[in-house]
Structure 1
């Protein structure tokens, strides 16, 4: 076990600051984040071009170093060495809180294993911002990040969570949004959703309502910008209704036949059918054998 007292002890190593940056509007950079970004020896940025715009806005001159998914192994080791040597470093993402759906997660894990203090400097987050403004139940919720790119893998991932009574949060790029929402509709059904685009920016837009209606609008209007999607979870009443509806259109005989086709014996099929329909087994048995 390692106990970190972030501000109450002298230390020979530096600190890794996880700094939240604006998700759109640069005015959202907190005073504390501004202070940290000027005090550290360097800023590790996912995209130095994007972060340079932020630094220019506030006239900061702190050195930048790139840290992204393509160099995270070698650059991560370099950053850990600098931290162990006593330098303090701020980790920033393109936008929002680092280490969420970006390579910063790996650097944080390395720092924790090396007993380097990791100190969060809270800031904007697209997923939580969308959740609290969605109008959908805010807890419990499950953050899925970016879903897999292929439809098959995406459907498998959605199927893991489709029956949870939890609001689902995810991100998506504009060129995959339509296919992603089509997969959500197929696996999860016509849920209530809130879809936000370009949050905190000039062209911020929200779609709230049934997934089918939002999907139709997006297909007609096109996509542009980054999207955050909030999907309502399954409630207990809806879940119970879904359990009944699958056989509701079947006759009793077809219900029995369904289970036989699934490999059940006639006796097992009759017992299952009777149980699900709340009927005496004898009644289902007699009906089946007098067909």
Structure 2
């Protein structure tokens, strides 16, 4: 009586495995095309970032911090970026940044439209809630399995796993932001002859933008947190150095890679937060 009876056990993983096999068999061409698109985006962003001279890159970070917050903040962010270069991880930082930017851009392209539509459609919202709960609570390592199956090893599965892991906050906060727009403002827009699309673009989105930006900030930070995890399936960058350091029990390499990820995460978090606050005063 202390053991659960084996005769009534249920194995949902078996059905998921069958679904994955069916997708690979029937949609391999689609996955190959998607692989080419993601590679093109990542490597073009990497080439664009690499084209910027290191001193100009540091200057741009300084100017962004100064413009968005203060001279002291800009100086601090510039020093963090310079330290990553002094450690010798500049190229790894650029590649990591390319993966994060690609993942965030694709997450925004997917998340914001779904969030807007779910704000108007209660049935879709009810369907999405448990799905998003599962996406946010599922261990991030689990996403690496289908990513490897669909896309192999390397950068593309890392981007895919990062998108799945980091998109839910963008969807949730976009939907919440649209629903929180006062009804009076919508009614006033319709009273002046605006269509639903015009009311969305000219009234609802500007009012919802601070919350949407908060969702983008959360998406960005979750994407950054996947850097080390995604390196387990062949993604290069700072996360790969952490994995190598673990395998070698190399404390110095682990610390250098880890502190570089921390610096990059702090800069991205502060800059996106400050951009979000700017929208609150628009």
Assess same fold via TM > 0.5. Answer: no
Determine which structure has more spread, i.e. the larger CA radius of gyration.
1
Return the structure number with greater relative CO, CA threshold 8 A, min gap 6.
2
Question: Shorter-chain TM-score: what band?
Answer: under 0.3
- When the two structures are superposed, what TM-score results if normalisation uses the length of structure 2? 0.20
User: Which has a greater percent of helix?
Assistant: 2
Normalised TM-score (structure 1): 0.20
